Amino acid sequence: DAKTTQPPSMDCAEGRAANLPCNHSTISGNEYVYWYRQIHSQGPQYIIHGLKNNETNEMASLIITEDRKSSTLILPHATLRDTAVYYCIVRSFNTNAGKSTFGDGTTLTVKP
Amino acid sequence: NAGVTQTPKFQVLKTGQSMTLQCAQDMNHEYMSWYRQDPGMGLRLIHYSVGAGITDQGEVPNGYNVSRSTTEDFPLRLLSAAPSQTSVYFCASRPNQNTGELFFGEGSRLTVL
């Protein structure tokens, strides 16, 4: 699976959009981009995933560049409860690729 | 639906002791995995299983054993605990090795003295 690079930390004002970048320049054609978050010491929680089209759900939007080498997770109206570590991972749906590996993620702090 | 259940939530061991962290899921997921998370770090994959009777190593398998005799259960065994294994352990599952997102348990915090 492709390696991802994320900034270690970011701040965001409450009520503003939080834009979290992820670089995955070695991504291949059959690899999806997944985002998870981990609030405090809880188990990570799935947010969203995509292949090449932009995706939106009730939690967030995912923007993937046309060359697929980077993506941005957007929390449209960040709240204090969105303070968490956000993980971007890339995963193949190849039958031999059972592993999902996580990096260190981005610590997002939402400030009042 | 309980999802992914881990026990115990907290455990203190002495160096050299053995123990098993339990993980059970009630979603009929084929894929299950174990991660460890050290303070201030991301998750590192220990072992994973793509179905009953099949297991494989992740990034940091040394010092840990797993087995998968049923679809529901995926226990993680520490044969001889070391202080370096002090960590928070997370179990996760997804429908199969190819599709779906991971569902995580709430974690098991292990301290080895």
CB atoms closer than 10 angstroms to residue B43? 31
- The minimum CA-CA distance between A71 and chain B, rounded to whole Å, is 18
Write out pLDDT tens, residues B51-76.
999 999 998 999 999 999 999 999 99
Residue of B32, B87, B101, B109 to mutate, interface with A, max A Cβ within 10 Å:
B101
Whether residues A43 and B42 touch (CB distance < 8 A) is answered with: no
How confident is the model at residue A99, as a pLDDT? 65
Q: Show residues of chain A in contact with B35, CB under 8 Å.
A: 102
Residue B92 has pLDDT above 90, yes or no: yes
Nearest residue on chain B to A31, alpha-carbon basis: B98
CB–CB of A27/A87 below 8 Å?
no
As a dihedral over the C-alpha atoms of residue B5, residue B9, residue B14, residue B17, rounded to 10 degrees, the angle is: -10
Positive or negative: CA dihedral A111, B40, B57, B7 = negative
Rg (CA), chain A: 13
Q: Show residues of chain B in contact with A34, CB under 8 Å.
A: 101
Q: Supply the DSSP symbol for A43.
A: P
Average pLDDT over residues B20-40: 94
Write out pLDDT tens, residues B98-112.
778 899 999 999 999
**Considering CB atoms only, which of B43, B98, B106 is closest to A102?**
B43
Is A103 an interface residue toward B (CB < 8 Å)? yes
Average pLDDT over residues B80-109: 92
Alpha carbon distance, N-terminus to C-terminus of chain A = 38
How confident is the model at residue A55, as a pLDDT? 96
Is B102 an interface residue toward A (CB < 8 Å)? yes
Q: For B111, phi and psi rounded to 5 degrees?
A: -120, 125
CB–CB of A18/A82 below 8 Å?
yes
List the pLDDT tens digit at each of the 112 positions of chain A: 668 999 999 999 999 999 999 999 988 888 899 999 999 889 999 999 999 989 999 999 999 999 999 999 999 999 999 999 999 998 876 545 556 678 889 999 999 9
As a dihedral over the C-alpha atoms of residue A33, residue A34, residue A35, residue A41, rounded to 10 degrees, the angle is: -140
**Tokens 């193949």 label which residue?**
A92
